Structure 1
Amino acid sequence: MISVIRRFGGIEVSCCGHSILVDPTRRFIDNYDAVLITHGHSDHYTSHISKARRIIMSGETLKILREFRGLRLGAGVTVAYPNRPIVFDDFSVVPLNAGHVMGSLMYLIEFKFGSVLLTGDMNIEDSIILKGAEPYPDVDILVIESTYGDPSFHFEPRDNVYDNIIDLAERTVRKGLRLVLSGFALGKGQELYKLLISNGFNAAMDKNVYSLNRILLNVGAISSNGDIIVADMPPRIQPSNDSVIALVTGGAPGRWIRRHVHIQLSSHSDFNGLVDFAVNSRAKRIYTIYGHSEKLARHLRLEYGLNSYPIPNNTLI
């Protein structure tokens, strides 16, 4: 019997006397065989993980949490590599590429009596810095994110968005204006910087983006002043008559959108991507989590006949 529940803000998976906790966001009692962290965004971990006996995460996520977030993580950390199983006595954990941000992982947990795939945040579309996530077929249970699990979310192909960003950069610079591209420092900070550099622009960065790009992309010292600046979200750069601020997000960023340009570029899959991933997993049971979990689960249930529900507080399989 495999149990999958929401606990401590994360996901608890238990079977045969073993328990694993994934992405806890609240203080927890550490009676787990392992605590798994999918990636370095602050809504997927708590500083309390530093107390855990065994933590599993990618090397990039470890650098982010130690050097950027300031967590004190000691000898209890096991560095995970995609497609390289971590074997315990009665089960194994297989890290898989999640395609979300640098260092992001999905986790396949394989017990004797069944398997569970937990996507964390993920993206099936290739980007300039990452390969997209691929479904793992025939798992018993799939726990899939549903951040954009509403049918209204359909994203333009990434290459088209990239072309639009480069066109905006060229037009802005030709006019003698400064362009600020603002997205979350982890994710957009690396993607936008790599896109600009690859297209011949001398891009500057704000403090947070630079700190992460130094860790993840090995960039050297660089000025924070320039015609194009990659900045964190929300931008701390004040609007002026000689600058254009473009917010780069998957969803419309609230009140900011009224004053700035919006470029829709997400580190998550859109609705169709989530549906394709879920269907191709051929999972016997699907749990949706985060965002529009009810809508995605209902669509998979009604349109595809899948055994799909929002993740419960306590369910036995």
Structure 2
Amino acid sequence: MAISVFDLFKVGIGPSSSHTVGSMKAARLFVTGLHEDGLLPHTASVRAELFGSLGATGHGHGSGSGKAVLLGLEGEDPETVDTGTVDKRVHRIHEADRLRLLGRREVEFREPEHLVLHRRRTLPFHPNGMVFTARDHDDREVRARTYYSVGGGFVVDGSATGADRIKPDHAPVPLPFGSASELLLRAYETSLPISGVMLANELSRRGESEVRAGLLRIWRVMQGCVERGCSRTETTLPGRLQVPRSCPAAAAQPRRGLPGCGSAAHHGLGQPLRAGRQLDDRFQGIGCARGARASNVSV
């Protein structure tokens, strides 16, 4: 099975792909389904239950699974949500005891009645389980769905069964590999750098312009994260754990001519890409040696 680079590198609200990205996606999937099936106008309230690890970190894991669920119910996507407005929006929901499902329908939402954290209970398939239930004005169930956040921002519907819950991508790629050694061997056989091997496989899914635009967008988001982290004045990260921020202090240290915190805007894309090419060249050399040994063995 070949994994796309866009499955490995995803843009999403932090700090955890399982606890925040997955939770937000599941909540958004639920309300999107209500809308598509014409059930949103009949919905008066939504109850979200978080189990296991999600329930245990509902209020303490950075932005928290609970916050992510609220934003997802309002229709936000983890890739495009404005992180600068998260706290204000969650505060507004708490103050009004109401939220806007998919940004369209306002319903009551009172914690802890409508956001239940099961810290010591888990669902059968995976520790990161969620159950969403929509009810009408007569308190009758409109719809209930179970979702699992299985890691990496992937969310599966609990209505699937067995191995069908997660379907791997078996689409053929021109240069398949199943280990680092095989990757180096593909590079040797084709005289391509590692990046060239990866690009060739990625082009089996989408056009080259789309691949390059997507990678550059991910890099720009990474740069922006570093810049924001280094420019913050708060001394601790969000959440009750009070973890100290390290980026501002690192930004103040001399970097001995290397691009570091606070300098991405001045260095642009050049130096990081040059560093990547140097690593690529070094691994390519290893691949040539590996390929030579493989050829000797085969002969």
TM-score, with normalisation over the residues of structure 2?
0.27
Superposition TM-score, scaled by structure 1 size: 0.26
Greater gyration radius: 2
Name the structure, 1 or 2, with higher relative contact order (CA <8 Å, separation 6+).
Answer: 2
Structure with the higher strand share, 1 or 2: 1
